[in-house]
Chain A
Amino acid sequence: AQSVTQLGSHVSVSEGALVLLRCNYSSSVPPYLFWYVQYPNQGLQLLLKYTSAATLVKGINGFEAEFKKSETSFHLTKPSAHMSDAAEYFCAVSYALNFGNEKLTFGTGTRLTIIP
């Protein structure tokens, strides 16, 4: 079964510093991979997704992620952190169910704190 592991439940970076959030996946077939962001008391917002078109995926708010099959990784990065990036981030993988359906399996999340 497909799954994702997020390394580090809490990450703190200084404003202006590089953001790196780690995600490793387990999948028996080429996966679809996602990063979602959740701001306090809100739902999930899609940051970016990998669907095999390109290994380097650019998303919203300056985030990007690189799919590395050899490392089974899909780490999220941003060159320069802003205070507004403080949120919880979830990596997710999708896999097929029945009747053309599929589901998302989420990692346990990484809470990003930005230090002024």
Chain B
Amino acid sequence: DAGITQSPRHKVTETGTPVTLRCHQTENHRYMYWYRQDPGHGLRLIHYSYGVKDTDKGEVSDGYSVSRSKTEDFLLTLESATSSQTSVYFCAIRGSGGDSNGYTFGSGTRLTVV
């Protein structure tokens, strides 16, 4: 999607290794989110950010950490990857305008942990 890029698009990693996924935006939006998508669960929030260095946990944050050192980048790290973290990960951004208007989702990162 325009204005938001996720990298890598696909990754295969081994159990126990650390993995970092990157979300980059060019919209200067304040709010950024990481979700994971799994069959039968829809999308579930992992972590979110409401500004540089301001982050908080979502509903499925165990085993994940995040960092946001600048407005445009929001990094998701799997500290020690497990097979249960095989999933599709989506980043989303939102501006500060009212009425919940401006969520934009990235194209996703498909992560396989073997």
Q: Are A and B part of the same complex?
A: yes
Is B48 within 8 A of A103, CB to CB? yes
Is B107 within 8 A of A42, CB to CB? yes
B31: chain A residues at CB < 8 Å are: 101
A sample of 17 cross-chain residue pairs with beta-carbon separation below 8 angstroms, ordered by A number, consists of A32-B100, A34-B100, A42-B107, A42-B108, A43-B105, A43-B106, A43-B108, A44-B90, A45-B105, A51-B99, A94-B100, A97-B56, A101-B31, A104-B43, A106-B44, A107-B42, A108-B41
> Is A71 part of the contact surface with B, judged by Cβ < 8 Å?
no
Main secondary structure of the interface of B (DSSP, over half): strand
Proximity bits, A58-70, B CB within 8 Å = 1, else 0:
0000000000000
Proximity bits, B34-56, A CB within 8 Å = 1, else 0:
01000011111100101100101
Cα-based distance from A97 to B106 in the complex (angstroms): 22
Report the minimal beta-carbon distance from B24 to chain A, rounded to whole angstroms.
14
Cα-based distance from A96 to B56 in the complex (angstroms): 14
Is A43 within 8 A of B44, CB to CB? no
A9: chain B residues at CB < 8 Å are: 40
A105: chain B residues at CB < 8 Å are: 45
Instruction: List residues of chain A with CB under 8 Å of any chain B CB.
Output: 9, 32, 34, 36, 42-46, 49, 51, 90, 94, 97-109
> Chain B interface residue count: which class?
20 to 34
> Is B63 part of the contact surface with A, judged by Cβ < 8 Å?
no
Is B105 within 8 A of A102, CB to CB? no
A99: chain B residues at CB < 8 Å are: 50-51, 54
> Is B17 part of the contact surface with A, judged by Cβ < 8 Å?
no
B96: chain A residues at CB < 8 Å are: 100
Is B107 within 8 A of A104, CB to CB? no
Q: CB-nearest residue of chain A relative to B90?
A: A43
> Is B101 part of the contact surface with A, judged by Cβ < 8 Å?
yes
Report the minimal beta-carbon distance from B75 to chain A, rounded to whole angstroms.
19
Is B33 within 8 A of A108, CB to CB? no
Interface residues of B in 1-20 (CB under 8 A from A): 1
Is A108 within 8 A of B40, CB to CB? yes
Is A51 within 8 A of B100, CB to CB? yes
Is A101 within 8 A of B42, CB to CB? no
Is B45 within 8 A of A103, CB to CB? yes
